[in-house]
Copies of this chain bind each other. A is one copy, B any other.
């Protein structure tokens, strides 16, 4: 019998139990018809009415010290005690699978190394993109590629809010309130709307793709609080939508230095990412051989995330050698270049006289003026050609010196 333990009985943990028992037969078929069961569920709370009441324990050491346990699913979230528990399990020769993006983004390289040393697996498919297969395809199916770039709609909550703003002209505050009412957003929505969640996920994808641990604190991160319906209207006039995009790009072949950023951005209607709506996620991977590949699906939720956790459990049981190749280096250094050096096109919305428009053309060169219904006489918006963030700042400052006021600035991306 193969025994697994589930640490944490929140949304994901209860989903793991539900999906496991629902599809147990076909899951067992995937591991060569070996019998498998959940032996423990770790949670400090009591669940006397749960169908799995006899499996609950409040003592982590019961799991760590039980040699029967082959695989542990860490679905508690947060850094501690998740890190200590995960480390202990790996050191006790148990594979660990996790949905905990905070843990992987902060300590992934370290835990992978501990897993390697102990000849067990540390998998984290569920940490990015919920039920969308992305970690394994990135590592394995796209193995023949040099991954040049990754960009994704990685946070369902902000995508839901932006979709309501785009499709129903709902203001940010109302859309956020609705997301909270529907359970898509926390009461304190900062992790989502300020971009931190998306930042952790792009860090994991970048670390995996570029072979170096990329720390969230080094990535310039902007959320969607300042996006307005005016910006949404100008984006529509331009031919696209505003999406919160986490992205990372290889700059040099050798050093592993990368550009990375999380921010709302204009995305053309021609892009596959533009039609990723509501709570769905979409992740674009640009490989040198495959070109663009896009993965789409539910980026969160009980059952999709549980399904990714269980897929990792199945892989861990099959004892593949993946853990040996699933590695990235961590030298504690910052491999992300200053975002001010990054280049893109820019959308600017300004307040100013008609003279400002003429001046903007002189300063920015070939700009594309945008229009929206109800546009005030003293408002103008345009898309400026590709330049660095620094150059954009300087040019915008020049424009502001002659009395224009910058109301909004967003990047225009070509995914």
> Which A residues fall within an 8 A CB radius of B?
15, 19-20, 22-23, 26-27, 29-32, 125, 130-133, 136-137, 140-146, 272, 275, 287-298, 301, 303-304, 306-311, 314-315, 318-322, 324-325
Contact of A293 among B132, B145, B292 (CB under 8 A): B132
Kindly state the separation between the CA atoms of A252 and B151 in the bound complex, as whole angstroms: 39
Question: Are A136's CB and B131's CB within 8 A?
Answer: no
Question: Are B140's CB and A311's CB within 8 A?
Answer: yes
Contact of A298 among B290, B301, B315 (CB under 8 A): B290
How many identical subunits does the complex contain? 2
For A142, the chain B residues whose CB sits under 8 A away are 133, 307, 311
- Cβ distance A383 to chain B, nearest Cβ, rounded Å: 22
Kindly state the separation between the CA atoms of A29 and B295 in the bound complex, as whole angstroms: 25
Question: Are A318's CB and B325's CB within 8 A?
Answer: yes
Question: Are B272's CB and A289's CB within 8 A?
Answer: no
Question: Are B298's CB and A295's CB within 8 A?
Answer: no
Excluding A144-B310, A275-B275, A289-B306, 5 further A-B contacts by CB distance (< 8 Å) are A27-B143, A290-B303, A290-B308, A296-B296, A318-B325
Kindly state the separation between the CA atoms of A310 and B296 in the bound complex, as whole angstroms: 24
Kindly state the separation between the CA atoms of A37 and B238 in the bound complex, as whole angstroms: 50
Question: Are A297's CB and B294's CB within 8 A?
Answer: yes
Contact of A297 among B29, B291, B307, B324 (CB under 8 A): B291
* Least CB separation from A272: chain B residue: B296
Whether A30 touches B143, Cβ cut-off 8 Å, given contacts A136-B137, A296-B272, is yes
Contact of A275 among B15, B19, B146, B272 (CB under 8 A): B272
- Cβ distance A250 to chain B, nearest Cβ, rounded Å: 12
- Cβ distance A150 to chain B, nearest Cβ, rounded Å: 14
Whether A289 touches B19, Cβ cut-off 8 Å, given contacts A30-B325, A136-B136, A320-B321, is yes
For A310, the chain B residues whose CB sits under 8 A away are 143-144
- Cβ distance A253 to chain B, nearest Cβ, rounded Å: 11
Question: Are A144's CB and B311's CB within 8 A?
Answer: yes
Question: Are A145's CB and B318's CB within 8 A?
Answer: no
Kindly state the separation between the CA atoms of A284 and B136 in the bound complex, as whole angstroms: 18
- Cβ distance A364 to chain B, nearest Cβ, rounded Å: 31
Whether A133 touches B293, Cβ cut-off 8 Å, given contacts A141-B125, A287-B307, A307-B145, is yes
